[in-house]
Chain A
Amino acid sequence: NAGVTQTPKFQVLKTGQSMTLQCAQDMNHEYMSWYRQDPGMGLRLIHYSVGAGITDQGEVPNGYNVSRSTTEDFPLRLLSAAPSQTSVYFCASAGQGAWETQYFGPGTRLLVL
């Protein structure tokens, strides 16, 4: 099993550009989530999903969209990148009934100029 995979590993964007961060898991997990990690702060939840077709907002959803058309994939879309979105983005997944035990992808480092 590959676990949770994320692409790309690194990305540089200009202000106003859009892009999609990809996340996939092969563990048949129902729960998936996106976090951002900034220096001196804990991980902050952007969006999460408890199953295909179901998504909900986390603590910091503004400027981001998600969709969950399959159990495996949970892409995160930046609509119009801003320098404040410079961060490390982690995708995580968890099995049904054990959503607190989260398995993380390797992260995407995003720089917005």
Chain B
Amino acid sequence: RKEVEQDPGPFNVPEGATVAFNCTYSNSASQSFFWYRQDCRKEPKLLMSVYSSGNEDGRFTAQLNRASQYISLLIRDSKLSDSATYLCVVNMRSNYQLIWGAGTKLIIKP
């Protein structure tokens, strides 16, 4: 079983719609959680951190469910520019090593 699992997609979503995807992690003692975004053939970039109380940044909302060991990302009013792969990242062991999911590909269609 992978330590961090994501649905690879692709999620094909019309512009303006709301889309959500989850990421599950295996270690219940995991400490920190993040969503990174990666455009095609580009480097990953931090999108947002995921706090225990949730985190909202404009159209993006991230939530953590420790009991079920997953984090989620919700994108409202999706834009064409939201098309990318979204990477779930977990700090499981606090030894300077992040564990990365393989990513969920999102395609926003006009």
Measured CB to CB, the residues of A under 8 A from B are 31, 35, 40-45, 48, 50, 56, 58-59, 90, 99-102, 104-107
Chain B: residues with CB nearer than 8 A to chain A? Answer: 2, 4, 8, 32, 34, 42-46, 49, 87, 89, 91, 96-103
Name the residue of chain B whose CB is nearest to the CB of A3: B43
Specify which of B46, B91, B102 is in contact with A40 (CB 8 Å cutoff).
B102
* Complex CA–CA separation, A20 to B2 (angstroms): 31
* Interface SS majority for chain A: loop
Of the candidates A31, A43, A101, which one forms a contact with B100 in the assembled complex, judged by CB atoms under 8 Å apart?
A43
Given contacts A48-B96, A56-B96, A100-B91, contact A90 B102 (CB under 8 A): no
Q: Is the CB of A102 within 8 A of B96?
A: no
Q: Are A50 and B96 in contact (CB under 8 A)?
A: yes
A105 with B43: CB separation less than 8 A: yes
Minimum C-beta distance from A86 to chain B (A): 16
User: CA separation between A45 and B97, bound complex, in Å?
Assistant: 7
* A100 B98 Cβ-Cβ under 8 A: yes
Distance (whole angstroms) from the CB of A28 to the closest CB of chain B: 18
Q: Are A42 and B96 in contact (CB under 8 A)?
A: no
Minimum distance in angstroms from A87 CB to a CB of chain B: 14
Q: Which residues of B contact A41 (CB under 8 A)?
A: 102
